[in-house]
């Protein structure tokens, strides 16, 4: 669904990862961190790349100089295969779980997919989808990997509105702040830099 929406509306995201997708109380997915969000209407080939994606999700052959098409596709598939594997065998998280904003995969799994024990297990548990991801991880380019994974064909992509895009209110807006931690009055702020933070320390 998320891949279909990205393609249909003409968007790409250069940093799909576990920490950049949140789930609200209704189960809807929200893609956050728009630093690497791009719309297909931007034709600048020299679009500045701020980052190359999370190391445990991004394709190892991703360019650090040019923006390739459909950067979201490979890391999204890493997440899908991980979740499918965990639904079949939750104990995978005990053997391979990664606490660095990842689910199961580490950089070395993606760098050497045919030598990865995790990939071997996932190919047995998940089947064709995991095998397709393993083959895509071995590709020498994002374009080649996307041909293997398949990219949704956005039918009748919507144009960007002339007045801009109105973003829906985040589900996090309803969170009640802790009044003890919100201090906005100027008198609460220090009037000088504490000595311990001075240049002499």
What would the mean pLDDT of 113-142 be, rounded to a whole number? 96
pLDDT (0 to 100) of residue 187: 44
pLDDT (0 to 100) of residue 105: 93
Residue 14 near residue 53, CB atoms below 8 Å: yes
Of 4-13, 130-139, 164-173, which range is least confident?
A: 164-173
Q: How far apart are CA 102 and CA 123, in angstroms?
A: 19
Of 15-29, 55-69, 96-110, 176-190, which range is least confident?
A: 176-190
Instruction: For 104-164, give the DSSP string.
Output: S--HHHHHSTTS-HHHHHHHHHTTHHHHHHHHHHT-SSHHHHHHHH-----SSPPPPPTT-
Structural domains for the chain: 2-149 (1.10.510)
pLDDT (0 to 100) of residue 92: 94
Of 28-32, 62-66, 111-115, 127-131, which range is least confident?
A: 62-66
Question: What pTM does this model have?
Answer: 0.69
Please provide the average confidence, as pLDDT, over all residues in the chain.
76
pLDDT (0 to 100) of residue 183: 45
Higher pLDDT, 116 or 14: 116
Is the pLDDT score of 13 beyond 60? yes
């Amino acid at each position: 669904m998320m891949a279909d929406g990205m393609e249909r509306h003409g968007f790409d995201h250069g940093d799909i990862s576990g920490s950049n997708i949140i789930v609200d109380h209704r189960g809807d997915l929200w893609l956050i961190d728009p630093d690497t969000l791009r719309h297909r209407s931007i034709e600048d080939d020299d679009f500045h790349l701020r980052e190359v994606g999370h190391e445990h999700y991004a394709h190892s052959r991703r360019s650090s100089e040019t923006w390739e098409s459909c950067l979201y596709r490979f890391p999204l598939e890493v997440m899908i295969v991980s979740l499918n594997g965990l639904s079949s065998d939750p104990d995978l998280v005990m053997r391979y779980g990664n606490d660095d904003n990842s689910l199961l995969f580490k950089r070395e799994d993606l760098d050497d997919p045919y030598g990865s024990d995790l990939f071997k297990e996932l190919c047995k548990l998940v089947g064709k989808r995991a095998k397709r991801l393993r083959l895509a991880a071995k590709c020498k380019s994002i374009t080649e990997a996307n041909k293997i994974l398949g990219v949704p064909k956005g039918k009748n992509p919507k144009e960007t509105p002339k007045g801009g895009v109105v973003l829906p209110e985040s589900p996090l807006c309803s969170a009640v702040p802790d009044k003890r931690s919100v201090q906005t009055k100027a008198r609460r702020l220090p009037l000088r830099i504490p000595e311990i933070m001075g240049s002499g320390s």
